[in-house]
Amino acid sequence: MLNGKTIMITGGTGSFGKRCCREILARFNPEKVIIFSRDELKQSEMASDPLFASNRIRFFIGDVRDGPRLQRAMAGVDYVIHAAALKQVPAAEYNPHEFIKTNINGAMNVVDAAIETGVQRVIALSTDKAVNPINLYGATKLCSDKIFIAGNSYSGKIDTRFSVVRYGNVIGSRGSVIPIFLKQKEAGRITITKPEMTRFIISIEDGVSFALQSLADMMGGEIFIPKLPSCAIGDLAKAIAPNCPVEIIGLRPGEKLHEALIPADEAHHTTEQEDRFIIHPSNPYWSYKSERYEGEVCKEGFGYNSLDNPHRLNIEALTRLVETFKESESA
């Protein structure tokens, strides 16, 4: 569906954005891929990278906080992948205004600009921290999710549709735990919040593929959630540096011991499929047919969290995962 189309990626110079751009160029024949971000240095570095040597890439400096700039960038765009966000949990606790401006106001600007310019589909990236949030980052992403789902009501006769993908920690993304542990291993000491802490994990390649598949499948209003493995942070540290001394530092401000991707309150309008869950909109004021999706409706009270997840990785599996990550980074 991307052949001959123009796709814009907000936050396009980030870890996800760059990988997504590569995948689109490798797998499809788009008319144009617009990289929208506020960092001119990263755009310059990306433009000079042979991996992105294509006359189909356009670089557009701008910030999702700037609505008029978004409208200018989206002129003639068919699909938008919204990956721009501030996402560091401790930073959000100390800089709440900035996270609100980017993650919430920015989401409103993306919705408004997409409707004004007649974009066909918008898929937004979310996080497990948006489920029953206890930190400001999660709260801003919950608001963002609600804004994108409600955007389907605002489009009126304009056929713009909005959906969301939600998953856990992305291996290798900026600030993710595996690169941090590998760096700490070199220094000879690893710091862990709590060994029993659990997290969902997904590779950046799988995250991109899931987002593109969801973009193809969406009707507008869905939250797509992949079935993911989870692991204990203490086991991950042992897999990376079994002989390193470990310092337990306790939970940081705004951190949960375990994360969830589906809250029990939303189980009754969630469909389970072989490799994913789909949370359907609870009040679709637009044309939406959940029966289009095959699968079983989750039982009332069902929840999908990293602690009770049946797909838990042991130390051996995590060791293989880390080796795969290191090979991909050196390739």
pLDDT tens for 292-325 read 999 999 999 999 999 999 999 999 999 998 888 8
* Model pLDDT, residue 328: 73
What is the C-alpha separation between 21 and 24, in angstroms, rounded? Answer: 5
pTM score, two decimals? 0.94
Residue 48 lies in a domain: yes
Worst-scoring range by mean pLDDT, 118-122, 147-151, 236-240?
236-240
pLDDT of 228 > 80? The answer is yes
Specify if 30 maps to a domain.
Answer: yes
| Helices 67-74 and 106-117: angle between axes, nearest 10 degrees | 40
pLDDT of residue 175: 66
Question: 195 with 233: CB under 8 angstroms?
Answer: yes
Q: Residue 331 above 70 pLDDT?
A: no
Please report, rounded to a whole number, the percentage of residues in the chain having pLDDT higher than 70.
98
Instruction: Write out pLDDT tens, residues 2-56.
Output: 999 999 999 999 999 999 999 999 999 999 999 999 999 999 999 999 989 899 9
Residue 246 included in any domain: no
CB atoms within 10 A of CB 308: 12
Which residue numbers are catalytic?
129
What confidence category does residue 141 fall into, taking pLDDT thresholds of 50, 70 and 90? very high
Question: Given phi > 0 = left and psi -120 to 50 = alpha, else beta, which region is 250?
Answer: left
Which residues lie below 8 Å from residue 96, measured CB to CB, with a gap of 6+? 136
The C-alpha atoms of residue 326 and residue 151 are separated, in whole angstroms, by 40
pLDDT category of residue 330 using cuts at 50, 70 and 90: low
Query: What percentage of the chain reaches a pLDDT higher than 90?
Result: 79
Question: For residue 158, is pLDDT > 90?
Answer: no
* Cα–Cα distance for residue pair 272/225, rounded to 1 Å: 10
Structural domains counted in the chain: 1
CATH of the domain at 50: 3.40.50.720
The residue-averaged pLDDT of 60-87 equals 97
pLDDT average, residue stretch 202-230: 96
> What pLDDT score does 171 carry?
85
Can you give the residue range of the structural domain that contains 62? 6-170+202-227+261-305
How distant, in Å, are the alpha carbons of 1, 286, 289 from that of 297?
A: 28, 21, 14
Least confident of 104-118, 129-143, 164-178, 232-246: 164-178
Report which residue type is found at 121: R
pLDDT value at residue 10: 98
More confidently predicted of 241 and 98 = 98
CA distance 240 to 238: 5
Task: Classify strands 6-10 and 79-82 as parallel, antiparallel or unpaired.
Answer: parallel
pLDDT beyond 80 at 73: yes
Any domain includes 313 = no
The pLDDT of 248-269, averaged and rounded, is 92
Per-residue tokens: 132: 């029953």
What is the rounded average pLDDT for all residues in the chain? Answer: 93
Q: How far, in Å, CA of 50 to CA of 47, rounded?
A: 8
Residue 222 lies in a domain: yes
